[in-house]
Amino acid sequence: MNESNYDDQGLSKGRWPCIDHSFQFIWPGEVDLARKGPFCNDIVRLFDGIQKAFSHLGADDRACCGQDEVAVEIFLKIDLEKKEVILDRLFKYCDLDVHIFTELLAILQRHFPDCYLVVPTLQGYELAKEIQRFLGSPEIECIYIKADGGETLLMGELLQGIGFKEILVGTERHYLERGGAEKRRQELGPGRELSMYHQGPDGEEEILWMQVRIGLLRSSLPGSFETAK
């Protein structure tokens, strides 16, 4: 097994101050290694676009990013031995004129169409909606929930009857009954993700996180760095 980070491809931490990023690459052979350079070139273009969009923000939007002015977090591990692209973290702290998930997904589909997208700790409602919109309903591998009786990890047979789309519907209903998701987002402030909810046998349960998996070619996305918003 071969493993590396992306610093040797020009993806150094200091090049894009508004982006906190971590990339790890695992490949079994030289054929797979050949994907690394073109992938990194596309990531550089994406990051340049994010940094440019950040430079056009006003003081109020920059303030949402905190004192360090980190606007975006992207933590990614590409394991070609397991045919997995593991998205550990994707979050945007302010309103940038870049549709980051769409751009990133188009790059991943272009270079790793034979892989699965795995999100090991999916928490945010917004990212879950993006996955559903552009890829469809992923397989839920486990869910960590919080209910009146405490916190529980659901796996295997305990997941029967729990669907990804149904979770999104239940979450939308939860926020509509309380004034809408935007109201809750404003209450939480920048840097906090909207929770998801599920109607369990004993009432509504908050989903603290869930691990999901779906093939990257479940849908087709046009990769356009200039037009996607």
Quick one: tokens of 218?
């479940």
How many domains would you assign to the chain? Answer: 1
Domain membership flag for residue 131: yes
Between strands 84-92 and 116-122, the pairing is: parallel
Domain that holds residue 191: 2-215
Rounded Cα distance between 2 and 193, Å, is 35
Closest CA to 32 of 69, 83, 74: 83
Domain membership flag for residue 133: yes
Domain membership flag for residue 227: no
Rounded Cα distance between 170 and 146, Å, is 15
| 3-state helix/strand/coil string of 7-24 | HHHCCCCCCCCCEEEEEE
Do 105 and 193 touch, CB atoms closer than 8 A? no
Domain membership flag for residue 222: no
Domain membership flag for residue 189: yes
pLDDT in tens, the chain (229 residues): 565 555 445 566 678 999 999 999 998 877 677 888 899 999 999 999 999 999 999 988 888 887 788 999 999 999 999 999 999 999 998 888 889 999 999 999 999 999 999 999 999 999 999 999 999 999 999 999 987 778 999 999 988 889 999 999 999 999 999 998 888 888 877 668 899 998 877 788 999 999 999 999 865 444 433 333 3
What pLDDT, on the 0 to 100 scale, is given for residue 207? 94
What pLDDT, on the 0 to 100 scale, is given for residue 10? 59
Domain membership flag for residue 221: no
What pLDDT, on the 0 to 100 scale, is given for residue 200? 79
At 87, the amino acid letter reads L
Domain membership flag for residue 152: yes
Domain membership flag for residue 37: yes
| Residues sharing a CB contact under 8 Å with residue 108, sequence separation 6 or more, in sequence order | 85, 115, 117, 216
Neighbours of 216 (CB within 10 A): 21
Q: What is the value of pTM for the model shown? A: 0.85
What pLDDT, on the 0 to 100 scale, is given for residue 1? 56
Quick one: tokens of 13?
């931490």
What pLDDT, on the 0 to 100 scale, is given for residue 142? 96
